[in-house]
Chain A
């Protein structure tokens, strides 16, 4: 054993050396490295979970946006339809009003025309009466006073066709 060099004191010393190295490496290498590995894997797991969450949220938001867009489109269509309806109604109203007004104007024009015709007829009648009177005066000299004459003629005219009445 001596030739090969086994010596219990050296053996003990080398055991202690191993122990020292073990302690050093344990506290300086294994422990911090293990902690870092664990921390890193935790961090990665967390960030992956976070990414998943964000993805989910984005999908949800997209859904919401889509929904809102659909709602807006529907609203727009409603408004358009309403506007068209209202336009139709307004047009209808305006047309009715115009027709009414036209009717009023036409009626007024008709009464005016009627009145003017009556007046013209009256005028013609009066002038005719005057003419007849003058003619009769010339025919019947002073036999009848003017007032009697007039009454007679008017009676005749009254009976005549196309006269007033």
Chain B
């Protein structure tokens, strides 16, 4: 083939793309997507529901476990191939964690934070593979046939973000208690020292200072209550941020494929790759920040 100028090459690619779009739109239309917010239960042996997102999560475990095993099976001091790639990734994560939490704390926090990152990003990226949302069982619902997919991205099941948020919450509180001691850490949420001090002053007859302490004591209790609520709200914000982003991405790709079956969804796949990375980074980064906040000593009132 003769040399083709760059402009002409772009023209040819555009032409082929438009052709494919036309062919896809005319001959291979996709039926109206049926979208279920909740993960579909495929089977329930012994009353335990097996959802398609659980299968997705298992795939993630298999793939990541396999990669980890292959990368570290024969560790060499001079890395090479897969070991090199994984080492670079792990080191990048490690540097990220240590840059936020410091060297010593970073070492303690790394395993959980890194696992959150890897779980989220692997769930998100695996869900973009062909086969996800497209292989499944036809199911008659009323008068229309719907496809219940066998594989579904685990992040789009609210139970997964919720589970991760709970893990993050438990881990944060654990380190908070561990580094401050039970009483000191609890005093951040239930701060009644000033209040009872004020009551004591009042009983001793010093009404003016007693009133002042009582008042600031009530404010302390209120602040503690807000702290507690904000800690709880984190779980919800974690959950719905990840769930919303990933589910929206799934619906977006679905809708694009319905509108224009071929080619047109490709940019959105790129977008979803990026969003998967960002969401994983946000989830593990926020967990890390909350961990650091829980561990750093808060000033005494």
Contacts and interface: CB of A to CB of B under 8 A. Distances in A.
- Do A and B assemble together? yes
Given A4-B38, A6-B159, A39-B77, A28 B87 contact: no
Interface in B117-170: 118-119, 154, 157-160, 162-164, 166-167
B213 interface: no
B133 to A, nearest CB: 16
A28 to B, nearest CB: 4
A5 B69 contact: no
The contact size tier of chain B is 35 or more
B58 A17 contact: yes
Interface in B65-122: 65, 68-69, 71-72, 75, 77, 79, 86-87, 90-91, 94, 110-112, 114-115, 118-119
Given A10-B159, A14-B157, A15-B167, A33 B61 contact: no
Interface stretch (A18-26, A96-104, A112-120, A123-131): A18-26
Interface in B225-276: none
B251 to A, nearest CB: 14
Contacts of B167: 15, 18
B68 A25 contact: yes
Contact of A28 (B51, B69, B158): B69
| Chain A interface SS verdict (over half) | helix
A29 interface: yes
Interface string B48-67: 11010110011011001100
Contacts of B61: 17, 20-21, 24
